[in-house]
Structure 1
Amino acid sequence: MTNTNSRQSEYPIDPLFLDRWSPRAFDGKSMPKEHFLTILDAAHWAPSASNNQPWRFVYAHKGSPDWDKFVGLLMEGNQRWAKNASVLLFVLSRTYNISSDGEKKPAGTHSFDAGAAWLSLALQSHFLGYHAHGMAGIFKDKIVETLNVPDGYVVEAAVAIGTIVDKSTLPDDLAEREVPSTRLPLSEVAFEGSFTGKAD
């Protein structure tokens, strides 16, 4: 087992997987653009089915003319803390593939592949000394309209990236939640031979 970051794995995994987590307390400082481009570059090297690379990223840096617009696309609960991130980013995915004859066909793994890109982004952020926090609390229809998302693409999630600071900078209710989360036991999520877990 591995012990780090107030977490303990059941088997000896690399500490990176326990040290990576999703805080809300960010310092509100800008990020060098070359750091963010490195993060994006890592994300776009994620694996995807048939190398179709369905992910797309639309982003804004804190202090840019687009910043307030991006913050406004988050639900209020996320706006409270994500406004102090260095970068806000929306992960999109293309729902179709284009065959060799130019025909559009449904892409069954577009969300799965975009998830791989998100993890690559989160890990590269961690390597550079930042933290990335993914969010589902967003206004998807408003994002599509505001950011000119074309037909055939869906909004998957938002991500806030920044430098972590002490949780005392958060409102009290958020500070209470500012701890690395645990996970279900491995036996509840992985089954040999057939699905033997609870259907919930």
Structure 2
Amino acid sequence: MNHPETLDIKSAKTKYPVHELLRSRWSARAFADKALDEDTLRTLFEAASWAPSSMNEQPWVYLYAHRSDAENFQKFFDCLMPGNQAWADRAAVLVLSLAEKNYQNSGRPNTHAWHDVGAANTNLLLQAASMDIYGHQMGGFDRQKTVQAFDLPEHLEPVCFIALGYLDNPETLEEPFRSRELAERHRKPLEQIAFAGQLAR
């Protein structure tokens, strides 16, 4: 169930017109007690798979667990830092995104791998937003515990965890997360990030 007041607060207030899908995507923490079915989840991964990548390497790999699969879900949950554990247990699905560190043909380091995994994650989250599903990427996790818990091979490295689910009332969250859920979003002004020709000095 969506919450119109929250959606209105979180809708990006842009200076220039951008697509509604971009304006409506945001990193929610209040998730409803509603499952994501496997076909819906596969649709999100399908969207991720069509992201651009250097040399078409597609260096992304995803592991996931539904909350209904309590044992596996707990393994994902245990890798998160306490600040994320405070709310991520309500997610319908927890996802771990991984990057292939090397090019498949040459074995050379793929210095664009994390960028490309980020692009795939963005595709996933935008597809989710189009379906009224909300995602929250988390860099706050124990890297060593994650490598050990999932027995990751040397050529794969964890990039981030993603919590996915349908939106719930922010009142289900404790502070400070409730206030963050109801706060307007802001971005740096374009004058600080986009320059014609060269950096401003």
The alpha-carbon deviation at position 5 of structure 1 amounts to 4.2
The alpha-carbon deviation at position 6 of structure 1 amounts to 4.4
CA separation of 1:180 and 1:26: change in aligned 2, threshold 3 A: farther
Q: Which residue number in structure 2 is paired with residue 186 of structure 1?
A: 190
Q: 2:68 aligns with which of 63, 67, 71?
A: 63
Q: 2:125 aligns with which of 122, 127, 146?
A: 122
User: Residues 24-71 of structure 1, C-alpha deviation per residue, up to 9 Å, x if partnerless?
Assistant: 000132211110011111111111011100011111111203011111
Q: 1:167 aligns with which of 155, 161, 170?
A: 170
What are the residue-to-residue correspondences of 1:53-132 with 2, within 5 Å? 53-64=58-69, 65-99=71-105, 103-132=106-135
Question: What are the ranges of 5 or more consecutive residues in structure 2 without an aligned counterpart?
Answer: 1-7
The alpha-carbon deviation at position 147 of structure 1 amounts to 0.7
**Is 1:22 aligned to residue 27 of structure 2?**
yes
TM-score, normalised with respect to structure 1: 0.91
Contact 1:61 1:67 in 2 (8 A): yes
CA separation of 1:145 and 1:180: change in aligned 2, threshold 3 A: farther
**Is 1:147 aligned to residue 131 of structure 2?**
no
CA separation of 1:175 and 1:4: change in aligned 2, threshold 3 A: closer
Higher relative contact order (CA 8 A, sep 6+): 2
Question: What are the ranges of 5 or more consecutive residues in structure 1 without an aligned counterpart?
Answer: none
Which is worse superposed, 180-189 or 44-53?
180-189
Higher strand share: 1
CA separation of 1:89 and 1:96: change in aligned 2, threshold 3 A: same
Q: Distance in 1 between matches of 2:10 and 2:89?
A: 25
The alpha-carbon deviation at position 19 of structure 1 amounts to 0.6
| Count of matched residue pairs | 192
Question: What is the percentage of aligned positions where both structures have the same residue?
Answer: 33
**Is 1:11 aligned to residue 16 of structure 2?**
yes
Q: Distance in 2 between matches of 1:6 and 1:74?
A: 27
What are the residue-to-residue correspondences of 1:34-45 with 2, within 5 Å? 34-45=39-50
Q: Distance in 1 between matches of 2:11 and 2:133?
A: 18
Q: Distance in 1 between matches of 2:149 and 2:11?
A: 40
TM-score, normalised with respect to structure 2: 0.91
CA separation of 1:180 and 1:19: change in aligned 2, threshold 3 A: farther
Q: Which residue number in structure 2 is paired with residue 195 of structure 1?
A: 199
For residue 160 of structure 2, what is the amino acid of its counterpart?
A: A
